[in-house]
Amino acid sequence: MFHAPIVPRVRKRSRPAEAGVARHEAVKFEDVRLYLVERKMGSSRRSFLTQLARTKGFIVDDILSDVVTHVVSEDCEAPSLWTWLKECGLRNLPNMHVLDISWFTDSMREGRPVAVETRHLIQDTLPTLPGCSTPTPVARVSQYACQRRTTTENNNKILTDAFEVLAESYELNQLEGPCLAFRRAASVLKSLPWAVQCLGATQGLPCLGEHTKALIEEILQYGHSFEVEKILSDERYQTLKLFTSVFGVGPKTAEKWYRRGLRSFSDILAEPSIQLNRMQQSGFLHYGDISRAVSKAEARALGNIIDEAVHAITPDGILALTGGFRRGKEFGHDVDFIVTTPEQGKEETLLPNIIDRLKEQGILLYSDYQTSTFDISKLPSHKFEAMDHFAKCFLILRLEGSLVDRGLNSTEGDSRGWRAVRVDLVSPPMERYAYALLGWTGSRQFERDLRRFARLEQHMLLDNHALYDKTKKEFLAATTERDIFAHLGLEYIEPWQRNA
Ligand code: UTP
Ligand code: MN
């Protein structure tokens, strides 16, 4: 994954006889494979340096291939070197260290491969033209998540997990700017089809600032970051994380409790002056269940329950799974559905009817229903990240294990046979369906960048209700998500590619 730490291990490596002389040299650094670029260096100096390195236990390959880890060059003209490297047809080029001779001489002096530092790097300064055929995956990455395809497979989890800790820490301290910067950086790395193994590989990637680059370097070198570790062990961070993990508790409430000296759930529950609202009471009551991930099989079982309710109420009802499960995630913190009907106005009574039915079935543990405040005449909204105006409800449902394929995602020894699950239902009018579906499918970062792209690149305003063209001064109609991407001039991105 990341560049392995340098552990000198002595092993005999036999190489084919060279120039009639059979020689055996001890390889000390198995994880490092050098290649010396002959251009500018010249062949005699190259063979001298090759011999020198080999006597010091380095592997030096004569041929440049994908197994090479360190490319060393005396060519100080970066563009021509990079043009040549890109023409070599290497798949692993983004992960190779491309270094100037100073790294080599430092390593020879130390008798071991020294850590790669920025000053050693030969930077790729080549602009990549659109449609350019040389494989330069890095240069093609867009700064907008809605122009990247991000599956649930994350090749850079070790880095993105670290960025997310920092983002969360900034969020808990209500510092929006740096929080967003780390979220953006994490999102860029999540979209890469390869693992970053050296800082050089991040060259040309958007949204990576000095701070993120320093973190990447630190993690690649040591396997972890001291800054991240410090945050994770910080009492304030731990307490705020714990408090905000309760349904109904946001950063502001958590902060208030922390300032009052409260540090644990029992502190809160024992404090007589704290009045928990209904949502928080349910949050504490079902904490064990709803803080545990919901599985795909559980989401499917809930889909069946909601589907049955919708169709018992109206035969032409429409139900769609959205949120993380629509993006192909295996687990989620809740299950999100859109319910509507083609009969205009009828969607208004849909949610209250569903809620009544769930109550009759005895599976409604909590319900917070919000009526629609949708008013087309109040659009377009300039508010970024504003909550949408559709009728919706935030529920906690009781899910029987017998309804779930291969059973519940429950903790061992739990013999109740059921669990509590968070479910969100949103009910837009049918003509708003495509916008609601796009908005609720997420991810949050994908949505943020769709809106940012619309605003900055197309002079349009997008939210969960509509798309407004500020140039033409008109709303753009859409019946499918594809219509919306087309209005925005974006290539269509499938839901499972929106895990930004
Ligand atoms: P979630 O918070 O459920 O996230 O919101 P998720 O992607 O499904 O992830 P997990 O697995 O549950 O943790 C789903 C989408 O719905 C939008 C959010 O912006 C997100 O993209 N949403 C949610 C709204 O647009 N409005 C809301 O009131 C709530
Ligand atoms: Mn969700």
pLDDT band at 116 (very low <50, low <70, confident <90, very high): confident
CB under 8 Å to 118, separation ≥6 — which residues? 199, 217
CA dihedral 242, 248, 249, 251 (to 10 degrees): 120
Count the alpha carbons within 13 Å of 90 in the hemisphere toward its beta carbon.
20
Shortest-distance atom of ligand 1 to CA 464: 25
Helix-helix angle 347-360:296-313, to 10 degrees: 110
Give the bridge partners for 288, in sequence order: none
In the chain, CATH 3.30.460.10 sits at: 294-497
Q: Which pLDDT score, from 0 to 100, does residue 208 have? A: 97
Q: Which pLDDT score, from 0 to 100, does residue 383 have? A: 63
3-state DSSP helix/strand/coil percent for the chain, to nearest 5? 45, 15, 40
Give the distance from CA 296 to its chain's centroid. Answer: 19
Ligand approaching nearest to the C-alpha of 441: 1
CA dihedral 191, 194, 196, 197 (to 10 degrees): 170
CA–centroid distance, 335 to ligand 2, in Å, is 5
H or E element at residue 51: helix 43-55
Mean pLDDT confidence for 108-125: 85
Q: Tell which CATH architecture fits domain 234-285.
A: Orthogonal Bundle (1.10)
Mean pLDDT confidence for 14-19: 43
In the chain, CATH 1.10.150.110 sits at: 145-231
Q: Whose CA is nearest to atom 13 of ligand 1?
A: 333
Residues 251/172, Cβ–Cβ less than 8 Å: yes
Q: Which pLDDT score, from 0 to 100, does residue 382 have? A: 66
Mean pLDDT confidence for 268-296: 97
CA–centroid distance, 319 to ligand 2, in Å, is 15
Q: Whose CA is nearest to atom 27 of ligand 1?
A: 387
CATH homologous superfamily, domain 6-120: BRCT domain (3.40.50.10190)
Q: Whose CA is nearest to atom 15 of ligand 1?
A: 440
Q: Cα(81)–Cα(90) distance, rounded to whole angstroms?
A: 14
Counting residues of the chain whose pLDDT is more than 90, the rounded percentage is 76
Q: Whose CA is nearest to atom 11 of ligand 1?
A: 332
Cis peptide before 206 (omega within 30 of 0): no
Q: Which residue from 115, 222, 209 is spatially nearest to 163, judged by alpha carbons?
A: 209
Give the bridge partners for 73, in sequence order: 100
CB under 8 Å to 341, separation ≥6 — which residues? 314, 316, 317, 318, 347, 350, 430
CA–centroid distance, 86 to ligand 1, in Å, is 41
Residues 491/149, Cβ–Cβ less than 8 Å: no
Ligand 1 binding pocket, CB closer than 6 Å: 323-324, 329, 332-334, 336, 387-388, 439-440, 442-444, 447, 464
299 token code pair: 């989401």
Q: Whose CA is nearest to atom 24 of ligand 1?
A: 440
Q: Which residue from 115, 111, 121 is spatially nearest to 54, judged by alpha carbons?
A: 111
H or E element at residue 475: strand 474-475
CA–centroid distance, 440 to ligand 1, in Å, is 6
Shortest-distance atom of ligand 1 to CA 294: 11
Shortest-distance atom of ligand 1 to CA 443: 21
Q: Which residue from 198, 201, 225 is spatially nearest to 2, judged by alpha carbons?
A: 198
From 291, 325, 336, the mutation candidate for ligand 1 (largest count of ligand atoms within 8 A of CB) is 336
CB under 8 Å to 129, separation ≥6 — which residues? none
Mean pLDDT confidence for 55-69: 93
Query: pLDDT digits over 395-446, tens only?
Result: 999 999 999 998 999 877 778 999 999 999 999 999 999 999 999 999 999 9
Class of domain 294-497: alpha beta
From 298, 325, 334, the mutation candidate for ligand 1 (largest count of ligand atoms within 8 A of CB) is 334
Phi-psi region of 407 (alpha: psi -120 to 50; beta: other; left: phi over 0): left
Instruction: Look at residue 25 and give its three-state secondary structure.
Output: strand
Asked if residue 19 has pLDDT above 80, the reply is no
**Full-model pTM:** 0.75
Shortest-distance atom of ligand 1 to CA 334: 12
Q: Which residue from 173, 158, 156, 291 is spatially nearest to 231, judged by alpha carbons?
A: 173
145-231 maps to which CATH number? 1.10.150.110
Q: Which pLDDT score, from 0 to 100, does residue 387 have? A: 84
Ligand approaching nearest to the C-alpha of 443: 1
Q: In angstroms, how far is the first alpha carbon of the chain from the final one?
A: 21
Shortest-distance atom of ligand 1 to CA 323: 8
CA–centroid distance, 441 to ligand 2, in Å, is 8
Mean pLDDT confidence for 220-249: 96
From 146, 443, 496, the mutation candidate for ligand 1 (largest count of ligand atoms within 8 A of CB) is 443
CA–centroid distance, 363 to ligand 2, in Å, is 20
Q: How many residues does the chain have?
A: 500
Pairing verdict, β 331-332 and 294-295: antiparallel
What is the rounded average pLDDT for all residues in the chain?
90
CA–centroid distance, 337 to ligand 1, in Å, is 10
Q: Which pLDDT score, from 0 to 100, does residue 123 have? A: 83
Q: Which residues does the annotation mark as catalytic? A: 334, 336, 424
Q: Whose CA is nearest to atom 17 of ligand 1?
A: 440
In the chain, CATH 1.10.150.20 sits at: 234-285
Q: Whose CA is nearest to atom 14 of ligand 1?
A: 323
CA–centroid distance, 333 to ligand 1, in Å, is 10
Query: pLDDT digits over 172-219, tens only?
Result: 998 999 999 999 999 999 999 999 999 999 999 999 999 999 999 999
Q: Whose CA is nearest to atom 16 of ligand 1?
A: 440
Q: Which pLDDT score, from 0 to 100, does residue 242 have? A: 98
